[in-house]
Amino acid sequence: MERLGFVGLGIMGAPMARNALKAGFAVTVTNRTLDRAKPLGDAGATVMRTPREVAERSDIVITMVTSSPDVETVTFGPDGIAAGAHEGLLAIDMSTVSPAATREFAKRAAANRPPFRTLDAPVSGGELGAIEARLSIMIGGDEKDVKRAMPVFEALGKTIVHIGDHGAGQACKLANQIAVALNNLGVSEALVFAKAQGIDLERTRQVIAGGAGSSWAMQNYAPKMIAGDFKPGFMVDLQQKDLRLVLDDAYGQHVSLPGTALVHALYAALQHDGGGRDGNHALLKVIERLSGVEARQS
């Protein structure tokens, strides 16, 4: 089995590394805040201080950090993966970042001495999908690298699709984020409307979730929304980072995405009020405020 490395042990990276251990891989991990790596060490992973050391000890290294500059830091920074690269190393970035930056990273990896290979493989399915190894994984890069990494992907997810060349996985993930954000808005408006109508929210949610108005958000977020539980699986700040990437690329190509622009502005109101670290289903709070209706199960 390939030796696996993980860089970034946040909400997503930690359970993914845990699932790799469960699948029998030898796993080496690191995290910027090293304390957060301790539970993985207790579970059997080897903990190292830097991405460079993780790369030196691994055949395949997975990065799961926040944004494009963070991937650049852990990959090409002074103690980054490139500094510990060796013949045959494959670096798979599973964070959600810019498709253009991803293509650039692939070129820099190929020009590194020694060169190393890359894939982009962002995921969807949230914290629960990560914990239960049910992620959807959308992959960009060369077929032979995808085949090589398939046992790793199978340990982390269920729906695994090779979309195209470098950056194609990230482009697909951004399309996914448009659907996630707009589904959240649909669920928020449906719940606020139902509350204003005076009908029972849980019964309403239940029947909508079984019909044509259903969505992942209706099934997974709506119960949390009406319970007033806005703890993050996926933070508002990260949702905004993704919608910004979408809108920047759309702007450059003259693609009109009015719904995405609207949701981005609504989330900004939430950030303004200090809700950036809430879960992205806290969009409900903005819609509630606009109508003076609180959509909580009584």
Residues with active-site annotation: 173
The values of phi and psi at residue 206, to 5°, are -60, -45
Task: Check residue 11 for interaction with ligand NAP (CB under 6 A).
Answer: yes
Which listed range, 17-25, 38-46, 70-78, 80-88, lies at the site for ligand NAP (CB under 6 A)? 70-78
Indicate the length of the chain as a whole number. 298
Please, which residue, 241 or 296, has the CB nearer to ligand NAP? Answer: 241
Note whether 140 binds ligand NAP by CB under 6 A: no
Query: Is position 36 an interface residue for ligand NAP (rule: CB under 6 A)?
Result: yes
CB of 31 to ligand NAP, least distance (A): 5
Helices 168-197 and 283-291, axial angle in degrees (round to 10): 40
Q: Under DSSP, is residue 185 helix (H, G, I), strand (E, B) or coil? A: helix
Q: Which of 27, 60, 62, 65 binds ligand NAP (CB under 6 A)?
A: 65
**What is the spatial distance between Cα 35 and Cα 48, in angstroms, rounded to a whole number?**
11
The CA–CA distances, whole Å, from 257 to 188, 215, 241, 248 equal: 20, 20, 16, 11
217 binds ligand NAP (CB under 6 A): no
Residue 13 or 140: the one with the smaller Cβ distance to ligand NAP is 13
Query: Which of 220, 230, 234 lies closest to 273 in space, CA to CA?
Result: 230
Instruction: Specify the 3-state DSSP secondary structure of 24.
Output: coil
Q: Should residue 99 be labelled a site residue for ligand NAP when binding is judged by CB under 6 A?
A: no
Binding site for ligand NAP (CB under 6 A): 8-13, 31-33, 36, 64-66, 70, 73-74, 95-96, 123-124, 126-127, 233-234, 238
